[in-house]
Amino acid sequence: MALKLHNTLSGKKEDFIPLDPQHIRLYACGPTVYSYAHIGNARMAVVFDLLAELLKHSHKKVTYVSNITDVDDKIIAVATESGEEIDVITKKYADIYNKDMAALGVRAPDIQPRATEHIQEMIDLTALLIEAGHAYEADGHVLFDVPSFPAYGGLSKRSRDEQIAGARVEVASYKKDPADFVLWKPSSKDEPGWDSPWGRGRPGWHIECSAMAEKHLGLPFDIHGGGADLKFPHHENEIAQSCCAHGHENDITAFAKYWIHNGFVTVEGEKMAKSVGNITLVHDLIKSYPGEVLRMTLLSAHYRQPLDWSTATIEQSKSFIDRLYNILKDIEDVQAEDATIPDDILEALHDDLNTPKAFAALNTLAKEAAAQKSPALKGQLLAAGKLMGLLQQDPNEWLGYGQPGGDVDASEIEKLLAERQEAKASKDYARADEIRAKLDEMNIVIEDTPQGPKWRKAS
RNA sequence: GGCGCGGUGGCCGAGAGGAUAGGCAGAGGAUUGCAAAUCCUCGUACACCGGUUCGAAUCCGGUCCGUGCCUCCA
């Protein structure tokens, strides 16, 4: 089945043709670890997790690399403010990031390189760029010489002149050209720094991804991704660095062949920003909702569309997933067969990750599985769910059946249920309803079935 | 200002020239002592104005709204 992906380079959906069919190589820009991951970080992580899984489904060998940026001026700012050591901060937030993403069903990337572990590679790459005449040293900085790369702007489709015309930020005096960007910058004594041919300093932001992608995947590789906001300047600059360092001044595909960008997340209709005060953290969300619900919410819109994050959409996803687990509960006695994922679901995902369409197909499949109580269909449902990172939990546990949890006393509930049964048997419905109301107060829902009453925790 | 993206039924959200998308919510029904859970039935929507076409939500032009990026924000 052919995979189609929207390539930012062409602005079109293209057939994905691997550079090396024996080994698919994928890179996605990960977070800068100076704070908790927000829902926008999570969207990127979930989308590329799904893409990696999909690739792995149809290719034997796939390497998915997603980095951790652990050297950055924002991190320095946090360290200065809090008094904590930089590596303490980065380690803390990298760990939290990984835990939070795991809660969303994000599988660990095959390689998760850290910027600080690739300083030498960045220095080497920078040196190559100077040698090739694409970078220069000025005022302790090393800058990429943008005019030396005529193809610059090919990804974000903006000419150099447009950028200058629209620039809102004052241009540093040491730049030869306003569009030039930093490869290496000097560090003061109390800033983190590494020795380099240009003195003690630290890398610019863009160079790390060029260095890490090249080291772990080799050039060119198949797919490079990240949030839409990274198109410019980050990805544009990565292309400039990597292509120019290796003599591909005229070929912007010499770094990565397909560029995939996920859309932005807004929160209750507003841009998520510190200034608005609506940064929505995964760390907080997972206290209120199962990670699987959040994952589905993130996948409920096509990845390139803007996604508005709201309580209403989370609740919708929850209702949908609850129903799927209800179906799995209904057919819990059906032994799932080993099964492949149905074509309609695979086709939807292969069509540029059309997750909404895939959910529709998953829904149809679930209904059929419930109606037919078929081992094959149940197997298909679980297999499809697995690929999408969903439906792998125990349905009874998910729905709260027979799971006492810390705050409920199962024996007390059973006692009340028995009492209610007695009341019902003697047609004392007032008493029966009273007991049900009491259980309701305990957050327990009763379901009468032909096999007797069942109870579950309300969610 | 420059370069993009988008406006689909109460809500979310696919589709992209001739269509049952799907979901959530809601209504009615079955079931139930009443509920819960489940099942069945029910929605003819595509911002606006022109145009192309036998036919447009889908193509073209314009308008109006919303929104993203424009040197380190996923």
Overall domain count for chain A:
3
Would you say residue A403 has pLDDT above 80?
no
Would you say residue A162 has pLDDT above 80?
no
Range with lowest mean pLDDT among A6-10, A232-236, A328-332, A451-455 = A451-455
**Neighbouring-strand partners of residue A223:** A26, A258
- Residue A266 contacts strand B, CB under 7 A: yes
- Residue A44 contacts strand B, CB under 7 A: yes
- Residue A148 contacts strand B, CB under 7 A: no
Strands A256-262 and A62-66: what pairing? unpaired
Judge whether A171 lies within some domain.
Answer: yes
Hey, what amino acid is at A444?
I
- Residue A207 contacts strand B, CB under 7 A: no
Q: Are residues A389 and A428 in the same domain?
A: no
User: Residue A173: what pLDDT?
Assistant: 73
User: Residue A407: what pLDDT?
Assistant: 63
Give the nucleotide nearest to A237 (CA→C1'): B71
User: Residue A168: what pLDDT?
Assistant: 47
Domain boundary among the residues A352, A370, A399 is at: A399
- A9-22 per-position pLDDT tens digit: 988 889 999 999 99
The residue lying closest to nucleotide B13, measuring its CA against C1', is: A301
Cα separation, A412 vs A415, in Å, equals 5
Would you say residue A165 has pLDDT above 80?
no
C-alpha closest to that of A204 among A246, A174, A241, A258: A241
Q: How many CA atoms lie within 13 A of A408 on its CB side?
A: 24
Range with lowest mean pLDDT among A23-32, A44-53, A120-129, A394-403 = A394-403
Give the nucleotide nearest to A361 (CA→C1'): B22
Of the pLDDT bands very low, low, confident and very high (cuts 50, 70, 90), residue A179 is confident
Spacing of A436 CA from B32 C1' in Å = 15
Q: Are residues A136 and A225 in the same domain?
A: yes
Q: Are residues A200 and A272 in the same domain?
A: no
At residue A166's C-alpha, the angle toward residues A165 and A170, to 5°, is 90
Q: Are residues A391 and A415 in the same domain?
A: no
Spacing of A369 CA from B38 C1' in Å = 14
C-alpha closest to that of A30 among A81, A85, A70, A75: A70
Domain boundary among the residues A262, A282, A313 is at: A262
Cα separation, A28 vs A55, in Å, equals 14
Q: Are residues A250 and A271 in the same domain?
A: no
Would you say residue A400 has pLDDT above 90?
no
- Residue A32 contacts strand B, CB under 7 A: yes
Would you say residue A40 has pLDDT above 60?
yes
Strands A62-66 and A221-227: what pairing? unpaired
Q: Are residues A134 and A241 in the same domain?
A: yes
Judge whether A10 lies within some domain.
Answer: no
Q: Are residues A423 and A295 in the same domain?
A: no
Spacing of A301 CA from B13 C1' in Å = 6
Spacing of A216 CA from B6 C1' in Å = 37
**Complex ipTM value:** 0.91
Supply the range of the domain harboring residue A35.
17-262
Q: Are residues A69 and A123 in the same domain?
A: yes
Spacing of A364 CA from B20 C1' in Å = 14
Q: Are residues A231 and A258 in the same domain?
A: yes
CATH number for the domain that contains residue A357: 1.10.730.10
- Residue A271 contacts strand B, CB under 7 A: yes
SS3 annotation, A374-433? CHHHHHHHHHHHHHHCCCCCCHHHHHCECCCCCCCCHHHHHHHHHHHHHHHHCCCHHHHH
Spacing of A316 CA from B22 C1' in Å = 13
Judge whether A355 lies within some domain.
Answer: yes
- Residue A107 contacts strand B, CB under 7 A: no
User: Residue A90: what pLDDT?
Assistant: 94
Strand B positions closer than 7 A to protein CB: 1-6, 11-15, 21-25, 32-40, 66-74
The mean pLDDT value of chain A amounts to 90
- Residue A351 contacts strand B, CB under 7 A: yes
The residue lying closest to nucleotide B37, measuring its CA against C1', is: A447
Q: Are residues A393 and A420 in the same domain?
A: no
Q: Are residues A278 and A217 in the same domain?
A: no
Give the nucleotide nearest to A326 (CA→C1'): B37
Q: Are residues A388 and A331 in the same domain?
A: yes
Judge whether A157 lies within some domain.
Answer: yes
Q: In chain A, which residues from 394 to 413 place their CB closer than 7 Å to nucleic acid strand B?
A: none
- Residue A305 contacts strand B, CB under 7 A: yes
Spacing of A291 CA from B56 C1' in Å = 42
